[in-house]
C-alpha cells in the first residue's frame, strides 16, 4: 500500500474484518477527510492518524467517517454502544510495516460536541505528567457508556478511534483501547 500512497502508516483490522482499512497520516487533519488512498476525492475519505501525533504517540488518535446508509469505514464502531457487541469484539489489531500491535478496548464514549462540559481530551496524543494521564484514564472510564472491567495504568500506550455518531451529527463515538501485545512482522 505504501507504493500506492507513501502516507500509509498501517492497517486497522478488527475480527471478521468488520473493519479492515489502511490508515494514513498527513501534515494536517483536513487533507484526508474527503480523499481516498489514491488522493482522489471521496466523500467517505480514509481513516487518518491525528496530525498532532504519530503511530508512536502515547495515544494514537485515528479519525474516520461513518454513515447511516452504508457500512463504510468506521460505521461498525457505532455497534459498540451495545455492551454485548463489545464483549464479542473487544480486541483489534494495527498492522504496520514492521509489527502487528494488538489492542484491547477499555472504554466506549458518546461525546456531545455541543456540551461544553464534555471534554475533548480524548484527542490528546501526549500528556505533561503521569497525574494528568491518570486523570484522563479515570475520566474516560467514568464517562464510558458501560464498564468493561479492563484496567489501564500509567505505562499503557493507547489508541483512540473517533467517528461521527450518525444518529446525532453533533456527537462522536469514541473507542479507547490499550496496547496489549506487539509482534514483529517477519
Which of 77, 21, 70 minimizes the C-alpha distance to 49? Answer: 21
| Any domain includes 3 | no
Tell me the whole-structure pTM to 2 decimals. Answer: 0.94
Helix H or strand E encompassing 180:
strand 171-184
Which of 73, 23, 21 minimizes the C-alpha distance to 48? Answer: 23
Confidence grade of residue 1 (pLDDT, cut at 50, 70, 90): confident
Confidence grade of residue 174 (pLDDT, cut at 50, 70, 90): very high
Which residue range is the domain that position 106 belongs to? Answer: 8-184
On whether the CB atoms of residues 138 and 156 are closer than 8 A, the answer is no
| Any domain includes 1 | no
Structural domain tally of the chain? 1
Confidence grade of residue 117 (pLDDT, cut at 50, 70, 90): low
Average pLDDT of 146-161?
Answer: 96
Q: For residues 135-148, b (16+ Cβ closer than 10 Å) or e, as one string? A: ebbeebbebbbeeb
pLDDT of residue 167: 76
**All three cell numbers of 36:** 481516498
Helix H or strand E encompassing 9:
strand 8-14
| Any domain includes 53 | yes
| Any domain includes 156 | yes
Query: Does 119 or 86 have the greater pLDDT score?
Result: 86
Q: Report the CATH number that the domain containing residue 126 is assigned in CATH.
A: 2.40.260.10
Confidence grade of residue 164 (pLDDT, cut at 50, 70, 90): confident
Residue 137 has pLDDT above 80, yes or no: yes
pLDDT of residue 71: 73
- Residues whose CB is less than 8 angstroms from the CB of residue 127 and which lie 6 or more positions away in sequence, other chains included: 58, 133, 136
Amino acid at each position: 500500500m505504501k507504493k500506492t500512497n507513501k502516507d500509509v502508516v498501517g492497517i486497522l483490522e478488527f475480527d471478521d474484518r468488520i473493519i479492515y482499512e489502511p490508515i494514513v497520516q498527513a501534515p494536517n487533519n483536513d487533507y484526508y477527510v474527503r480523499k481516498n488512498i489514491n488522493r482522489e476525492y471521496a466523500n467517505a475519505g480514509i481513516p487518518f492518524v491525528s496530525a498532532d501525533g504519530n503511530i508512536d504517540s502515547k495515544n494514537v488518535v485515528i479519525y474516520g467517517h461513518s454513515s447511516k446508509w452504508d457500512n463504510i469505514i468506521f460505521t461498525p464502531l457505532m455497534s459498540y454502544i451495545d455492551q454485548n457487541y463489545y464483549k464479542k469484539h473487544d480486541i483489534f489489531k494495527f498492522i504496520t510495516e514492521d509489527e502487528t500491535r494488538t489492542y484491547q478496548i477499555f472504554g466506549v464514549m458518546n461525546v456531545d460536541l455541543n456540551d461544553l462540559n464534555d471534554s475533548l481530551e480524548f484527542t490528546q496524543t501526549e500528556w505533561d505528567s503521569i497525574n494528568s494521564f491518570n486523570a484522563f484514564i479515570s475520566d474516560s472510564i467514568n464517562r464510558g457508556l458501560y464498564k468493561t472491567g479492563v484496567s489501564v495504568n500509567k505505562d499503557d500506550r493507547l489508541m483512540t478511534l473517533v467517528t461521527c455518531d450518525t444518529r446525532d451529527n453533533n456527537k462522536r463515538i469514541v473507542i479507547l483501547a490499550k496496547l496489549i501485545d506487539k509482534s514483529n512482522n517477519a
